[in-house]
Amino acid sequence: MKDKPTLLFLLLGGFFVTNALIAEFIGVKIFSLEKTLGFSPFSVSLFGQENLGLNLSAGVLLWPVVFVVTDVINEYFGKRGVKLLSYMTVVLIMYAFLMVFLAIVLVPADFWPGTQVENGVTDMNIAFRWIFGQGLWIIIGSLVAFLVGQLVDVFVFQQLKKWTGEKNLWLRVTGSTIVSQFIDSFIVLFIAFYIGADWPLVLVLAIGLVNYSYKFTIAVLLTPLLYLIHYVIDHLFLGEELAQELKLTALEG
């Protein structure tokens, strides 16, 4: 624990895995971004699909954070560090879903299903099953999109860093996140709803573009946060000499 690079990797890795797991489980809720912010819902038309508003999965609150942390890990520990955490996260998410499904099939105590009737939940067991028991295609789509998005992010980040060196942090961070989020947005919808639920392709494309517009905006807005994180790591935690050594090793693979 006295080794600062190891401690940094553990802290970043723990935050990375935690956010990915939380994003998977809260993603079942669909919320209206406009109403949440106090605005009237937008009405956008794309590919012949009418009345498309910013109705988003709650998971979008955390996935941009996951990709931002990915870029920080990539900067200091390279593609090997990101791939290790990405593969480990996929395995842990699969394990988490397995445990949830085991919990779903447990026979509830006689009194438990009716414990929240006064609060409008007529059957807690059914509510538990529908909230946590996401469809198989949604789980597959989410995991595939996450893993492909991570690998694309790592590749684009490393290529941009080779071209720009230590300059233009905003370019490699924002650029890699924008590209990977674009791919992630469409893979999850294509697998979960085009293949898994027989949605029309034009509807998948339309919703994908709307969702990506949000992710693109958040990726740009989070750019100043990356500079703050790098400042804290470089100057307050590792020190400039050690930070530079880690970055050079990460770039060389």
pLDDT-derived band at 209 (thresholds 50, 70, 90) equals confident
Please report which helix (H) or strand (E) contains residue 50, including its range: strand 49-52
Supply 19's token pair: 């956010």
| pLDDT tens digits for range 94-132 | 999 999 999 999 999 999 999 999 999 999 999 999 888
Global confidence as pTM: 0.87
Note the helical H segments in 165-222. Answer: 169-189, 201-221
Helix-then-strand count for the chain, H and E: 9, 4
Kindly list the distances between the CA atom of residue 149 and the CA atoms of 88, 122, 145, 176, 183, in Å, as whole numbers in the listed order: 15, 39, 6, 10, 6
CA-CA distance, 14 to 114, in Å (whole number)? 37
Query: Is residue 149 within 8 Å of residue 183, measured between CB atoms?
Result: yes
User: What is the reported pLDDT for 1?
Assistant: 57
User: What is the reported pLDDT for 232?
Assistant: 94
- pLDDT surpassing 80 at residue 47: no
Query: What 3-state DSSP class applies to 192?
Result: helix
Write the CB contacts of 9 (distance below 8 Å, at least 6 apart in sequence).
73, 76, 77, 81
Average pLDDT score, the chain: 88
pLDDT-derived band at 93 (thresholds 50, 70, 90) equals very high
User: What is the reported pLDDT for 130?
Assistant: 86
What's the whole-number mean pLDDT along residues 81-91? Answer: 94
The radius of gyration of the chain from alpha carbons, rounded to an integer in Å, stands at: 20
Query: What 3-state DSSP class applies to 120?
Result: coil
DSSP letter (8 states) at residue 114: G
Query: Is residue 19 within 8 Å of residue 69, measured between CB atoms?
Result: yes
For residue 50, report the phi and psi dihedrals to the nearest 5 degrees: -95, 160
- pLDDT surpassing 80 at residue 46: no
User: What is the reported pLDDT for 178?
Assistant: 86
Place of tokens 């998971």: 59
- pLDDT surpassing 90 at residue 87: yes
Place of tokens 């699969």: 94
User: What is the reported pLDDT for 92?
Assistant: 94
What's the whole-number mean pLDDT along residues 157-171? Answer: 82
Supply 60's token pair: 């979008």
Domains of the chain and any CATH numbers: 4-107+123-252 (1.10.1760)
pLDDT-derived band at 162 (thresholds 50, 70, 90) equals confident
For residue 45, report the phi and psi dihedrals to the nearest 5 degrees: -115, 125
Q: Quote the percentage of the chain above a pLDDT of 70.
A: 99
User: What is the reported pLDDT for 82?
Assistant: 92
Place of tokens 């990977």: 180
| pLDDT tens digits for range 14-29 | 999 999 999 888 888 8
User: What is the reported pLDDT for 253?
Assistant: 67
Residue 44 burial (10 A CB sphere; 0-12, 13-18, 19+): middle
- pLDDT surpassing 90 at residue 172: no
Q: Quote the percentage of the chain above a pLDDT of 90.
A: 39
Query: What 3-state DSSP class applies to 195?
Result: helix
User: What is the reported pLDDT for 192?
Assistant: 86
Q: Which amino acid is at 247?
A: K
What's the whole-number mean pLDDT along residues 156-161? Answer: 87
